[in-house]
Structure 1
Amino acid sequence: MASGQLSRAEALACPSCTHACHVMLYCDTDTQLFGSLPIRHIVLMQMRFDGLLGFPGGIVDPAESLEAGLKRELSEELGVSLSIQEEDHLNSCYGPASPSSSPRLITHFYAKKMEEEQIRELERAAVTTATDYGQEVLGMIRVPLYTMEDGGGLAPFLSHSFVGNARFQLTASLLRLHLVAPEELRDAIARALQIQASAADELRAALSPAPADAEKKPF
């Protein structure tokens, strides 16, 4: 397996590790942006309390199974009860190491395909009934899987800041589930890197001191 990845059995054989489960909820759609650009698929993520993008889910309690813990987290964050099965599991891997990550974190990622109306009902519930709305979760968002003529869409989205393994989980799942063509994803990632470099320049410029008040001429 790729570095950092484990089989489900290997992950569960580490009882001293902390386990976190997240899921990508998605569906097919015939809708078009501006009546001409096919959206193709709806993939849900969320804006978290820390300003980072991530998937619904969270830490599994030691007494819970992976799926039971994920179901509980989804009920809190989305306001609905979803049935997540072991068959929906895609991968397990170690979370990024950090000074505060003790014990070691293992993240488990799932994908569940739904009907478009189910996705819409879930989005409504996430705002109206979820106990974590406005606190741990600041809002559900859709991933723009298309590429516009001016480069907008997937590339700018990938240039944002993601929590933990979420960006890897997203891109790997888009390929595995054939939601985005490999060449389209490669182009989007390359463009995202350019956008990040430009954003870094803009932030550095924002740190530059403003012109001194003394240089301002009176009317």
Structure 2
Amino acid sequence: MQMRFDGLLGFPGGFVNSSEETLEAGLSRELLEELGVALPISVEDHVASCHAPASSPSSSSSRLITHFYVKKMEEEQIREVERAAASTAKDHGQEVLGMVRVPLYTTKGGGGLAPFLSHSFIGNARSQLVDSLLRFNLVAPEELHKALTHSLKIHTDTTEDLKASLALTEAKRKRF
């Protein structure tokens, strides 16, 4: 995954003009821009299509359709992509702040997948990630369920911490 310019986690991608290129060609172009590597993408790599979540709570619909692709890669290929992303990707440091490996483990102290899943994701990227982890049997359903349950608690704790920080700044603001 990637850390985006807005601080959210997401997958590489972008807009495709279907009158100019196929979805697969557009995704390959976006991968080159964001990762610095042109990866061949095929129709067989397609997993799902859906309407994008509405951009704001007040707008109930979206005309944007997202297409999700998953590409199996060997570890050395992943390392090549990580090196290229940091050194040759055109959008690195602007649109994309860096690659992020998804931890497929849980430590005794609770680290790993659960805290990762508690981060903020763009659109439906968290659901796409969970679906892919299950689809490719990368994490057992029971382990993923435990990680998501723990992630929900982390998210609740983070919300409470943010509320406390907000109250602190409110108090400081009123004094000035």
Partner of 1:105: 64
- Quote the sequence identity (%): 68
The one-letter code sitting in structure 2 at the alignment partner of 1:76 is E
Deviation string, structure 1 residues 40-89 (Cα, Å, up to 9, x no partner) = xxxxx000011100011111123211101101100100111110000011
What residue is the counterpart of 1:29 in the other structure?
none
Match of 2:3 among 44, 47, 51: 47
Matched letter for residue 50 of structure 2: C
1:205 and 1:196 map into 2 onto residues whose CA distance is: 14
Change (3 A) 1:94 1:153: same
CA distance in 1, matches of 2:33, 2:149: 36
Counterpart CA distance in 1 for 2:69 and 2:134 is: 14
Secondary structure of 1:139 counterpart = strand
Query: Deviation digits for residues 79-135 of structure 1, max 9, x if unmatched?
Result: 111100000111111110135798601111111111111111110000110000000
Looking at structure 1, the residues matched to 96 and 125 of structure 2 have their Cα atoms a distance apart, in angstroms, of 15
Q: 2:156 aligns with which of 172, 197, 201?
A: 197
SS of alignment partner, residue 14 of structure 2: strand
C-alpha separation between the residues in 2 aligned to 1:96 and 1:102?
8
- Amino acid aligned to 2:34: E
Task: Mark the CA change 1:101 to 1:107 in structure 2 (over 3 Å): closer, same or farther.
Answer: farther
Aligned residue-pair number: 168
TM-score between the two structures when normalised by the length of structure 1:
0.73
Q: Is the 8 A contact 2:118 2:155 kept in 1?
A: yes
- For the residues of structure 2 that align with 1:98 and 1:79, how far apart are their CA atoms? 28
CA–CA distance in structure 2, aligned partners of residues 149 and 209 of structure 1: 34
Q: RMSD of the alignment, in Å? A: 1.8
**Gapped runs of 5+ residues in structure 1?**
1-44, 213-219
Moved more, 98-107 or 48-57: 98-107
SS of the residue aligned with 1:69? helix
Separation (CA, whole Å) in 2 of partners of 1:55 and 1:101: 24
Q: Separation in 2 of the partners of 1:151 and 1:209?
A: 29
Counterpart for residue 87 of structure 2: 128
Which of these residues, 69, 73, 79, is aligned with residue 30 of structure 2? 73
Larger Rg: 1
What CA distance in whole angstroms lies between the structure 2 residues aligned with 1:209 and 1:56? 37
Q: Higher strand proportion, which one?
A: 1
Moved more, 95-104 or 111-120: 95-104
Matching residue within 86, 89, 93 for 2:50: 93
Q: Which has the higher helix share?
A: 2
Moved over 6 A (4+): 100-103
**TM-score w.r.t. structure 2 length?**
0.90
